[in-house]
Chains A and B, each alone.
Chain A
Amino acid sequence: MTWKMKAAAAALAILGSVGTAAAEGALNIYNWGDYTSPEMIKKFEQKYDVKVTVTDYDSNDTALAKIRAGGHGFDIVVPSANYIPIWIKEGLLLESRPDQMENFKNVDERWVNVPWDPGRHYSVPWQWGFSGIGINKKMYSGDINTAAIFLDPPKELVGKINVEPEMNDVLFAAIKYLGGEWCTDDKVLLKKVRDKLIEAKPKWLAMDYSVTEKLPSGDYAAVYYWNGAIMRARLKNPDVAFGYPKEGYPIFMDSATILKDAKNVENAKKFLNFIMEPENAALISAFAKYANGIKGSAAFLPPEMKDAPELVIPAQYEKAGEFLKACSPEVSQLYARIWTDVNK
């Protein structure tokens, strides 16, 4: 062997070892920010020898626009229920038939025949939750189970409220508060909704996403926000309490789906099956503090999540929760105009 051949052989050996050190395959997940349990990802990577990359988005519309533009390289995306029919209609999702996967038996019956994906041909439950009221009890001691906290704020709270910058959730609460139905096009009522929001908004401090830090720190005294985030705030500061708007509050569920142009379809299918395993679903919930829709996962949840007031809905408020469904394009357009008016 000449030295040149030796060098070449050595180089090949090095390359080879790099090759075996690297994972067998890849999986690119596109999910909401601060929502994916790193522990669960690590477990998946080790089990299947797959390198997982997680990229964040901050709204359903951002995700939809980016995927539709193409060239994204993602395999899995986790849209909200009211958006999944749009994704399906636009032909962006792969019909991956999670209902035929091994672990599908673990999905809670409540989440199988869902209106946005009957029988679950495209999607697997990721997490579900709802918007509600978070309060710092030191700053307010009145009734917190009402949307009046941010729509007709008591004077102790004026200027200290944060409202989630999510058009649909905010309009839902306002429409319900004024006695209407979601997706209504009743202009008399909608005008009242707009006027109520325009009147309330100057009494808010912000419309921001930083609740898990700023509610426990006391920068916000009250928030209208998602239950899991409020729970995370409470775990940092026991003065935080959760309220269920009795007039009505919107329920969401985000579901994991495979994209039609995914490059790593097999790994993506393994992943969907993996997250239907109760132990793994519990990891997802333990991280983001939302419920998951997989039977038997409760046994694996950390103790502070059992009986959490943000997760166990009291019987008298169960009826007030309603699934946030997608409205028709005309109604959505109307709502967007109201939203612009409110935000001007």
Chain B
Amino acid sequence: MGSAADAARRAESETTRRRWLLSAPALVIIFVAAIGPLFVMLAYSFMTKGDYGDVKPIFSLDGWFSVLLQRDIFDDTLSLADANLIIMWRSLSLSAITTAATLILGFPTAYFIATRPRETREMWVFLVTIPFWTNLLIRTFAMQQVIRNEGILNSLLMWLRVINEPLPIMYTDWAVLFGMVYVYLPLMVLPLYASMEKLDFRLVEAGYDLYAGRLAVLRRVIIPLVKPGIVAGSILVFIPSLGAYVIPRVLGGGKTMMLGNLIELQFGAGRNWPLGAAMSITLMAVVMIALLFYVRNAARAGGGHG
């Protein structure tokens, strides 16, 4: 056994130690700021609700029970909590539609950027990130100015004589969808671009050389190769959409409740913290399932041509 091997081993354990030390601050933050509150939520979801909000430390399954089931207010029969389910379904479908819309809009955008000359690509990516410079809340209120009855869009359309009366867009589901797509589009474009940039365009040419049509090249060459980007972008859009709170509140006029607003109600005027906690954890479980789906897909995509 040579001392060189010893030294190497020592150096290696030194590196490991240093790595742990360097990541310790991040780990501590994750533990204190993310995992800690999660356990608090979990504990609250199994407690009894206090009379005026808060919880009493008495074990109870009422919170979890009320996520899916309810006793009728009026005749005490047990039924599915349709209010909660309708709101959950609305959030899920809004998130799915937002994801699909950003994908349809983001894919050509990312393709456009990836096919620009190398020197100008950075500029395009930079342009995509500009909306992030402004706070989400301010952007959402600015959007109100664009779509309200006497806003920019309606005034322009009426000036162009396309319409005679203002289109009622504000406070409709369309306004919410419009806002969601606008806000989350960059989150779709960036990962799509990242994987398209790595795309070997010689493969696309090879496809054409083998007499594949444009559609066939897109479907059988480009999409499979950029799939990790599609999956990553979809996850990045889908997850925050599920918990969207500000956009439905401001652009939906507070009339259509989403999961985020429903949870807020439980911690506010609803005064049912255990139910709010159970709902938050349910939301997290849905996100987790989506993530597992992603990891499995990404692994498969990576294995395919790795």
> Taking the complex as formed, is B265 at the interface, i.e. its CB lies under 8 A from any CB of chain A?
yes
Q: Are B73 and A187 in contact (CB under 8 A)?
A: yes
> Taking the complex as formed, is B168 at the interface, i.e. its CB lies under 8 A from any CB of chain A?
yes
Q: Are A62 and B149 in contact (CB under 8 A)?
A: no
Interface centre among A204, A206, A218, A337 (most CB of B within 10 A): A337
> Taking the complex as formed, is A113 at the interface, i.e. its CB lies under 8 A from any CB of chain B?
no
Contact with B along A196-227 (1 / 0, CB 8 A): 00000100111110000000011100000000
> Taking the complex as formed, is A298 at the interface, i.e. its CB lies under 8 A from any CB of chain B?
no
Query: What CA separation (Å) do A315 and B270 show in the bound complex?
Result: 36
- Pick the contact of B268: A59, A90, A206 (CB < 8 A): A59
User: Which chain A positions have C-beta within 8 A of B268?
Assistant: 59, 61-62, 65
User: Which chain B positions have C-beta within 8 A of A340?
Assistant: 83-84, 262, 265, 270
Q: Are A191 and B150 in contact (CB under 8 A)?
A: no
> Taking the complex as formed, is B54 at the interface, i.e. its CB lies under 8 A from any CB of chain A?
yes
> Taking the complex as formed, is A184 at the interface, i.e. its CB lies under 8 A from any CB of chain B?
no
> Taking the complex as formed, is A237 at the interface, i.e. its CB lies under 8 A from any CB of chain B?
no
Q: Are B254 and A208 in contact (CB under 8 A)?
A: yes
Chain A residue, CB-CB nearest to B270: A336
Q: Are B253 and A206 in contact (CB under 8 A)?
A: yes
> Taking the complex as formed, is A142 at the interface, i.e. its CB lies under 8 A from any CB of chain B?
no
Query: What CA separation (Å) do A45 and B239 show in the bound complex?
Result: 47
Q: Are A61 and B271 in contact (CB under 8 A)?
A: yes
Given A333-B271, A340-B270, A341-B83 in contact, is the A208-B74 Cβ separation under 8 Å?
no
User: Which chain A positions have C-beta within 8 A of B73?
Assistant: 187, 190-191, 194, 334, 337-338, 341
B274: shortest Cβ distance to chain A, in Å? 13
Query: What CA separation (Å) do A219 and B149 show in the bound complex?
Result: 6
Chain A residue, CB-CB nearest to B170: A219
Chain B residue, CB-CB nearest to A61: B268
Query: What CA separation (Å) do A41 and B223 show in the bound complex?
Result: 62
> Taking the complex as formed, is B257 at the interface, i.e. its CB lies under 8 A from any CB of chain A?
yes
Chain A residue, CB-CB nearest to B168: A159
> Taking the complex as formed, is A344 at the interface, i.e. its CB lies under 8 A from any CB of chain B?
yes
User: Which chain B positions have C-beta within 8 A of A343?
Assistant: 83, 255, 257, 265
> Taking the complex as formed, is A167 at the interface, i.e. its CB lies under 8 A from any CB of chain B?
yes
Query: What CA separation (Å) do A162 and B170 show in the bound complex?
Result: 13
Given A219-B150, A329-B51, A336-B269 in contact, is the A205-B171 Cβ separation under 8 Å?
yes
Q: Are A336 and B271 in contact (CB under 8 A)?
A: yes
Given A59-B269, A208-B254, A336-B271 in contact, is the A217-B150 Cβ separation under 8 Å?
yes
By secondary structure, the B interface counts as loop
Given A59-B269, A62-B268, A167-B269 in contact, is the A187-B254 Cβ separation under 8 Å?
no
User: Which chain A positions have C-beta within 8 A of B272?
Assistant: 333, 336
Query: What CA separation (Å) do A191 and B74 show in the bound complex?
Result: 7
Chain B contact patch, size range:
20 to 34
Given A337-B73, A344-B82, A344-B87 in contact, is the A64-B269 Cβ separation under 8 Å?
no
Task: Give the contacts of A299-333 with B (CB-CB under 8 A).
Answer: 329, 332-333
> Taking the complex as formed, is B207 at the interface, i.e. its CB lies under 8 A from any CB of chain A?
no
> Taking the complex as formed, is B245 at the interface, i.e. its CB lies under 8 A from any CB of chain A?
no
Chain B residue, CB-CB nearest to A206: B253
Q: Are A68 and B54 in contact (CB under 8 A)?
A: yes
Query: What CA separation (Å) do A340 and B84 show in the bound complex?
Result: 8
User: Which chain A positions have C-beta within 8 A of B83?
Assistant: 340-341, 343-344
A162: shortest Cβ distance to chain B, in Å? 8
Query: What CA separation (Å) do A169 and B83 show in the bound complex?
Result: 22
Interface centre among B53, B86, B87, B168 (most CB of A within 10 A): B53
Given A329-B51, A336-B272 in contact, is the A208-B82 Cβ separation under 8 Å?
no
User: Which chain B positions have C-beta within 8 A of A334?
Assistant: 73
Chain B residue, CB-CB nearest to A191: B74
User: Which chain B positions have C-beta within 8 A of A338?
Assistant: 73
Given A61-B269, A159-B168 in contact, is the A329-B52 Cβ separation under 8 Å?
yes
Contact with A along B137-173 (1 / 0, CB 8 A): 0000000000011100000000000000000101100
> Taking the complex as formed, is B267 at the interface, i.e. its CB lies under 8 A from any CB of chain A?
yes
Query: What CA separation (Å) do A206 and B83 show in the bound complex?
Result: 19
Query: What CA separation (Å) do A218 and B168 show in the bound complex?
Result: 13
Q: Are A65 and B150 in contact (CB under 8 A)?
A: no
Q: Are B269 and A219 in contact (CB under 8 A)?
A: no
- Pick the contact of A206: B54, B150, B254, B257 (CB < 8 A): B254
User: Which chain A positions have C-beta within 8 A of B270?
Assistant: 336, 339-340
Query: What CA separation (Å) do A15 and B183 show in the bound complex?
Result: 47
> Taking the complex as formed, is A251 at the interface, i.e. its CB lies under 8 A from any CB of chain B?
no
B147: shortest Cβ distance to chain A, in Å? 11
Contact with B along A273-311 (1 / 0, CB 8 A): 000000000000000000000000000000000000000
Q: Are B269 and A339 in contact (CB under 8 A)?
A: yes
Contact with A along B243-282 (1 / 0, CB 8 A): 0000000000111010000100101111110000000000
Query: What CA separation (Å) do A168 and B268 show in the bound complex?
Result: 13
A residues whose Cβ falls under 8 Å from a Cβ of B: 59, 61-62, 64-65, 68, 86, 89-90, 159, 162, 165, 167-168, 187, 190-191, 194, 201, 204-208, 217-219, 329, 332-334, 336-341, 343-344
14 more A-B residue pairs beyond the given contacts A65-B267, A205-B171, A344-B86, with a C-beta to C-beta distance below 8 A? A59-B268, A61-B269, A61-B271, A65-B268, A167-B269, A191-B73, A208-B171, A208-B253, A219-B149, A336-B271, A337-B73, A340-B265, A341-B73, A343-B83
8 A-B pairs with the lowest CB-CB distances in the bound complex, closest first:
A206-B253, A344-B83, A61-B268, A329-B51, A207-B254, A336-B270, A206-B171, A343-B257
Could you pull out 15 A-B pairs where Cβ atoms are within 8 angstroms? A61-B53, A62-B268, A167-B269, A190-B74, A204-B255, A208-B171, A219-B148, A334-B73, A336-B265, A336-B269, A336-B272, A338-B73, A339-B269, A341-B73, A344-B86
